[in-house]
A and B are shown apart, each in its own frame.
Chain A
Amino acid sequence: MTQKKQASERFTGFLKKFYVFLIFVFLYAPIVTLMVLSFNASKTRSKWGGFTLKWYFELFENEAILKAFSNTMIIAFLSALIATILGTAACIGIRNMKKRHQGIIMGVTNIPMLNAEIVTGISLMLLFISLGIKTGFLTVLLSHITFNIPYVILNVMPKLKQVNNSTYEAALDLGASPVYAFFKVVFPDILPGVFSGFLMAFTMSLDDFIITHFTKGAGLDTLSTKIYTEVKKGIKPEMYALSTLIFITVLILLILVNKMPDPKAKEKA
Chain B
Amino acid sequence: MNKKWLATPYLFWAVAFIVIPLLMVVYYGMTDKTGAFTWENVIAITSPEHVKALMLSLLLSLISTIICLLLAYPLAMILVAKHASKTSFIVMLFILPMWMNFLLRTLAWQTLLEKNGVLNGILSFLHLPALNLINTPGAIILGMVYNFLPFMVLPIYNVLAKIDINVINAARDLGANGIQTFLKITLPLSFPGIASGITMVFVPALTTFVISTLLGGSKILLIGNVIEQEFTTASNWHLGSGLSLVLMIFVLLSMVISSFFDKDGEGAAL
Shortest Cβ gap from A121 to chain B (Å)? 9
Binary interface profile of B, 86-121, with partner A (CB < 8 Å = 1, else 0)?
Answer: 000100111111111111111111111010111000
Residues of B within 8 A of A155 (CB): 270
**Are A125 and B7 touching (Cβ within 8 A)?**
no
Shortest Cβ gap from A167 to chain B (Å)? 12
**Are B227 and A97 touching (Cβ within 8 A)?**
no
**Are B117 and A89 touching (Cβ within 8 A)?**
no
- Provide a sorted-by-A list of 12 A–B residue pairs whose CB atoms are within 8 angstroms: A33-B108, A34-B104, A46-B116, A89-B9, A114-B199, A116-B244, A120-B21, A126-B28, A142-B17, A206-B99, A224-B101, A254-B92
Q: Indicate whether A108 reaches chain B with its CB closer than 8 angstroms.
A: yes
Contacts of A228-263 to chain B: CB distance below 8 A: 228, 231, 235, 239-240, 243, 246-247, 250-251, 254, 258
A116-B75 contact given A125-B231, A214-B231, CB 8 Å threshold: no
A126-B241 contact given A96-B1, A154-B270, CB 8 Å threshold: yes
Kindly state the separation between the CA atoms of A127 and B96 in the bound complex, as whole angstroms: 33
**Are A231 and B107 touching (Cβ within 8 A)?**
yes
Shortest Cβ gap from B203 to chain A (Å)? 6
Contacts of B150-176 to chain A: CB distance below 8 A: 150
A89-B17 contact given A33-B108, A246-B100, CB 8 Å threshold: no
Shortest Cβ gap from A169 to chain B (Å)? 8
Q: Indicate whether B149 reaches chain A with its CB closer than 8 angstroms.
A: yes
Contact for B22 among A97, A111, A143, CB less than 8 A:
A111
Residues of A within 8 A of B25 (CB): 119, 122-123, 126
**Are B2 and A96 touching (Cβ within 8 A)?**
yes
Kindly state the separation between the CA atoms of A210 and B241 in the bound complex, as whole angstroms: 16
**Are A93 and B99 touching (Cβ within 8 A)?**
no
Contact for B107 among A115, A123, A151, A235, CB less than 8 A:
A235
**Are A86 and B210 touching (Cβ within 8 A)?**
no
**Are A122 and B244 touching (Cβ within 8 A)?**
yes
A108-B1 contact given A92-B6, A123-B21, A231-B214, CB 8 Å threshold: no
**Are B13 and A149 touching (Cβ within 8 A)?**
yes
6 closest residue pairs by CB, A with B: A93-B7, A90-B10, A30-B108, A123-B21, A116-B207, A93-B6
Closest to B14 in A: A108
A108-B18 contact given A114-B199, A127-B24, A231-B214, CB 8 Å threshold: yes
Residues of A within 8 A of B268 (CB): 154
Q: Indicate whether B204 reaches chain A with its CB closer than 8 angstroms.
A: yes
Contact for B248 among A116, A246, A250, A254, CB less than 8 A:
A116
Residues of B within 8 A of A145 (CB): 13, 17
Kindly state the separation between the CA atoms of A89 and B8 in the bound complex, as whole angstroms: 9
Residues of A within 8 A of B116 (CB): 46
Binds B, one of A3-11, A20-28, A54-62: A20-28
Residues of A within 8 A of B149 (CB): 23, 26-27
Shortest Cβ gap from A39 to chain B (Å)? 14
Kindly state the separation between the CA atoms of A33 and B117 in the bound complex, as whole angstroms: 11
**Are A27 and B248 touching (Cβ within 8 A)?**
no
